């Protein structure tokens, strides 16, 4: 769609979205955002939305175009001509952007689900070694086996569990200290309502059949969540914000 499309989209999202609301919307579609100082980098976001043809970016772009047109119409309807000059000028530009999008529409790349079955710790170690981003692990129990599975992760770890006494194995503080001697970027939080098990990294989400800490006693299956990934991510982020930090 080119430079003109990026300019139109940049102006529109700057005008009709605040930083927080726009970032929240991007998170729903698992689209990364960058900041320039205290403000979101609107130009980079618009450029990525225009140039990337993966499912997440295209879905977010369609959602934004729909919302931007509605917000533009609403402001024109509820304000005087003197105060909506910008909106009157932007409306035909948004229509032009929609036209450019329809003409330049690319085939959507829909990710195929990747499911796994771990029969041994080595299977889990190999799985987590593929992480190219921070890893978020939601589980009902953490102990030495879980940390053994995570030992090759080279990115930050966010571990969320519940507040039940059995959620942390006996001698957990010593286990955590040993692990942190080689992997220091670890944060653990506890929430009152954690019953399911999820794994997040590389922009993907899996649901686990059992706790990572029990992999030595029984196989563990992980099923990738595609359609409900955004909803699960929002719920886990909410619980992460509400949860209390675990401090040794």
Asked whether residue 97 falls in the same domain as residue 141, the answer is no
Enclosing domain of residue 135: 116-245
Domain count along the chain: 2
Query: Which of 103, 133, 151 is the endpoint of a domain?
Result: 103
Asked whether residue 127 falls in the same domain as residue 196, the answer is yes
Tell me which of 127 and 233 has the higher pLDDT.
127
CATH number of the structural domain spanning residue 141? 3.30.870.10
Can you give the pLDDT at residue 109?
A: 47
How distant is the alpha carbon of residue 172 from its chain centre? 29
Distances 220 to 1, 61, 164, 205, 213 between C-alpha atoms, Å: 45, 37, 22, 16, 10
Query: What are 104-143's pLDDT values in tens digits?
Result: 555 444 456 789 999 999 999 999 999 988 899 999 999 9
Query: What are 51-67's pLDDT values in tens digits?
Result: 888 888 888 998 999 89
Can you give the pLDDT at residue 130?
A: 92
Asked whether residue 126 falls in the same domain as residue 78, the answer is no
Mean pLDDT of the chain: 87
Asked whether residue 92 falls in the same domain as residue 126, the answer is no
Considering the domain boundaries, does residue 111 fall inside one?
Answer: no
């Amino acid at each position: 769609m080119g430079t003109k499309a990026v300019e139109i989209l940049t102006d529109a999202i700057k005008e009709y979205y605040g930083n927080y609301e726009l970032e929240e919307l991007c998170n729903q579609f698992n689209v990364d955002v960058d900041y320039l100082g205290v403000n979101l980098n609107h130009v980079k976001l618009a450029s990525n939305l225009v140039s990337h043809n993966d499912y997440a970016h295209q879905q977010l772009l369609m959602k934004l175009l729909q919302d931007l047109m509605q917000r533009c119409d609403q402001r024109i309807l509820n304000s005087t001509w003197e105060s909506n000059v910008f909106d009157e000028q932007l409306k035909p530009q948004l229509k032009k952007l929609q036209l450019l999008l329809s003409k330049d529409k690319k085939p959507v790349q829909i990710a195929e689900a990747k499911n796994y079955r771990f029969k041994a710790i080595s299977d889990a170690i190999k799985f987590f070694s593929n992480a190219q981003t921070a890893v978020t692990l939601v589980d009902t129990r953490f102990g030495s086996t879980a940390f053994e599975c995570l030992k090759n992760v080279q990115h930050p770890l966010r571990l969320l569990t519940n507040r039940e006494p059995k959620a942390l194995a006996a001698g957990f503080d010593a286990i955590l200290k040993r692990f942190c001697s080689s992997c220091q970027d670890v944060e653990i939080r506890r929430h009152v309502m954690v019953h399911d098990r999820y794994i997040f990294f590389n922009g993907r989400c899996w649901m686990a059949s059992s706790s990572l800490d029990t992999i030595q006693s029984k196989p563990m299956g992980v099923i990738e969540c595609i359609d409900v990934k955004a909803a699960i991510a929002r719920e886990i982020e909410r619980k992460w914000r509400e949860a209390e930090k675990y401090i040794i």
